[in-house]
Structure 1
Amino acid sequence: MEERRIQGERIRGFQTTAVRRRDHHFDTLKFVERLKAEGFTEQQSEALLRIFSDVIEESIQNLARTMVPRDEHTTLSYTQRVDFAKLRNELTLLHNSELNPIRTDQERLSSEITRLGARLKEEVQRAQSSVKLDLNLEKGRIREESSVHELKVKETDTRIEKEVGDLRGMLEGVKFSTLQWLIGVCTGTAALLLGVWRLLM
């Protein structure tokens, strides 16, 4: 760690690795000139330039340490290809050793499925015939019940019409009685009011 005092300010320069040849990707002279234009002195500008250079150099070194070298990458790639080739061979052998029993089971299952399919087809045809017969019988029964229900509905309609006619007659009688009562009440009220008016006059 290096410390300097420039015009009463304390500037620290950090250095964590050995100094190597620096390959800056920016114009250092232009950087110093711009700092001067912003109000920094030449010593302050150079100190900031050194600090930024050290930071950039350390960042580049950290980046280089995290990168995989080409030889190591080539070796790793070759090792992975060999491992994949071995795995492919093992999978091929395993597939061939287990394929014959699987094929035998598949053929057995196919014949069983075919037999079950034929049996299922027979059962379905038998069930369809039975259902058709039941449907025909049910249709005949429904027709008979429908005719009986139609007769009952007609009888019920006739009875309802008769009762509605009776109710209408009753309503007409009630209306007439109510109207007579209202006329009597209105007439009595008018006579009473006329009598009271005469007494008051």
Structure 2
Amino acid sequence: MFLTRAGLRLRPFAFGTAGPTSYIRNNHTHFDSLKFVTQLQENGFSKEQSEAAVNVFSKAINDGIDLYASNLITKEVLSRQSYQQKVDFAKLKGELQLIDRSEFNNIRTQHEKLRNDLEKVKQRLKEEVNKSLSSVRLDLNLERGRIREESSIHDLKIKETDTRIDQEIANMKVQIDSTKTQVLQWLIGVCTGTFALVLAYVRLLS
């Protein structure tokens, strides 16, 4: 920084190839420092005080430009950031789609597994029901066989009882017939004896 007839030269500032202010668009920025020093001297400042004030003012301007420029970015940086954001967004979109497909595949896999488990449970239940029905049928058949055997035994006992009763009846008939024969024989003997006695009595009377 120095005093010339053209003025006090500020430190040049340039940031990239584009910027929002004229300070950034130009490679060099000047203001008439000699005129500013003269005005200060006319207002009662000495030459040293005027130059010191110009130096302080110039430093403040440069610091303000540096602070303002530190918060700015160039088109190239903005383009890179925009491109990076697009890349990140595309990557995020791809990851979300991958997650969606993965979740869908997981849900479909779980659905298939659940359906297979239900089919297995259904098949197992069917087998258990068939096994139970087979066991019940076997028990029923065994019970029917046992009932038939008991019925056959009862029928045999009934037949034996009927046969025994028939035999007893036949024996009783034989005994009755034998008794009848004996009674008839006894009656015939009695009648014959009585008739002989009557004949003998008649002969005695005659």
For Structure 1 versus Structure 2, the TM-score category normalised by the shorter chain is 0.3 to 0.5
Which structure ranks higher in relative contact order (CA pairs < 8 Å, sequence separation ≥ 6)?
Answer: 2
* Structure whose alpha-carbon radius of gyration is higher: 2
What's the TM-score once normalised by structure 2's chain length?
Answer: 0.33
What's the TM-score once normalised by structure 1's chain length?
Answer: 0.34
